[in-house]
Amino acid sequence: MARKHPLASLFLFTAWVCLAADNVSTFSIVAYDPVNHDWGVAVASRYFSVGAVVPWAEAGVGAVATQANVNVGYGPRGIELLKSGLSAKEVIDRLLAEDKFEGKDGRQVAVADAKGNIAAYTGPKAPTWAGDRQGKNWSAQGNILVGAQVPEAMGKAFEATQGELAEKLFAALKAGDDAGGDSRGRQSASMLVVRKGGGRNTNNDHYIYINVDDSPAPIPELRRLLDLNLGYLYQDKVGKLLGAGKSTEARDAAAKAVRYMPSRPEAHITLGLLEYLAGDKGAALAELKKGQQGNENFRKQFESSARFRPAFRGILEDEEFLRQLFPGQK
């Protein structure tokens, strides 16, 4: 067998590095949730900080993923065109028609519009393997992938997963990664989900916005961040529901926060207080004990949380309950 010349190997390696540098080689999914009216993008890549380039979305307007021989301007311009009333397909046609930069035939872009219509484009010179697959409310696409099985697996996982859009997007991204993903390896991942007024605090449409910029295991880290993001969203929802006098719904939201943040004492404290408010002292004690484990600041956190809302203050006067919660303490 003939041996390759060292300079030839160096040339091939250099060409590969240049190709990797010029292309956001990645796999992504763009989707719409008609139940909650969410739009979102999830993406992973062997590329630093992919979330700074690929995902774009605006509540009530739509979502865009721009990648491969990427023209980052497709993101903000795509959102602008969607706001003007163009459909997903019309937006892509306009973006390509307006594109005066080199390498247009290597672009890859996917769009979900305000009505949930889906469209995608993979240029004939997008780095192989490159392609896209669509379903009713989603488009999965990628380039420099191990093969067509990546977007196909993403679509199947998206459709098989129940629940809100963020969970469906993550399932799709993980399935793409499990199917081989980016043929060069792993480095970053991102998820953006928008919902009108759905973000934490006031006037925030970013329901989910998490980024793993540089990690040897970006998908598990994205899962960790997603759990925190959803957990804090449900914690925030607890406060809003209590303010509206909906204690039963608040308890349900607190239970979801605990499911997403089982190691966070504050989540257990909130649920414990709501269980007590509902009259279930046994469940309240069990939940508060979970928040107490290994937490030297538990009593201070518990008393501060109980005093924060008038509805909770009765627990501080229940001496028998407090003796069970703090045995041997005054």
Q: pLDDT of 232-259, one tens digit each?
A: 999 999 999 999 999 999 999 999 999 9
- pLDDT for the residue numbered 184: 81
- pLDDT for the residue numbered 11: 35
Cα distance between residue 302 and residue 326, in whole Å: 11
Nearest by Cα to 122 from 100, 102, 139, 141: 141
Q: Is the pLDDT of residue 58 over 70?
A: yes
Q: In sequence order, what are the beta bridge partners of 194?
A: 39, 206
pLDDT, tens digit, 9 for 90 and up, residues 294-328:
999 999 999 999 999 999 999 999 999 999 999 98
- pLDDT for the residue numbered 2: 39
Q: Is the pLDDT of residue 4 over 70?
A: no
Of 20-29, 122-131, 197-206, 282-291, which gets the smallest average pLDDT? 20-29
- pLDDT for the residue numbered 183: 77
- pLDDT for the residue numbered 330: 66
Q: Is the pLDDT of residue 9 over 70?
A: no
- pLDDT for the residue numbered 182: 77
Peptide bond into 129 cis (omega under 30): yes
Contact 193, 233 (CB under 8 A): no
Token pair in block for residue 152:
């196909």
pLDDT tier at 69, thresholds 50, 70, 90: very high
Token pair in block for residue 284:
């309240």
Q: Is the pLDDT of residue 15 over 50?
A: no
- pLDDT for the residue numbered 214: 97
% of residues, the chain, pLDDT over 90: 88
Cα distance between residue 107 and residue 327, in whole Å: 66
Q: Is the pLDDT of residue 29 over 50?
A: yes
CA dihedral 152, 158, 161, 164 (to 10 degrees): 170
Q: Which amino acid is at 177?
A: D
- pLDDT for the residue numbered 329: 80
pLDDT tier at 23, thresholds 50, 70, 90: low
What backbone torsions phi and psi does residue 57 show, to the nearest 5 degrees? -165, 155
**Which part of the chain has CATH 1.25.40?**
240-325
- pLDDT for the residue numbered 8: 41
pLDDT, tens digit, 9 for 90 and up, residues 143-200:
999 999 999 999 999 999 999 999 999 999 999 999 998 778 899 999 999 999 999 8
**Span 23-30, mean pLDDT?**
82
Q: In sequence order, what are the beta bridge partners of 121?
A: 109
Q: Model-level pTM greater than 0.85? A: yes
The CATH code that applies to domain 240-325 is 1.25.40
The CATH code that applies to domain 22-215 is 3.60.20.10
pLDDT, tens digit, 9 for 90 and up, residues 206-218:
999 999 999 999 9
Cα distance between residue 9 and residue 12, in whole Å: 5
Nearest by Cα to 228 from 188, 200, 186, 195: 200
**Which part of the chain has CATH 3.60.20.10?**
22-215
**Span 113-130, mean pLDDT?**
96
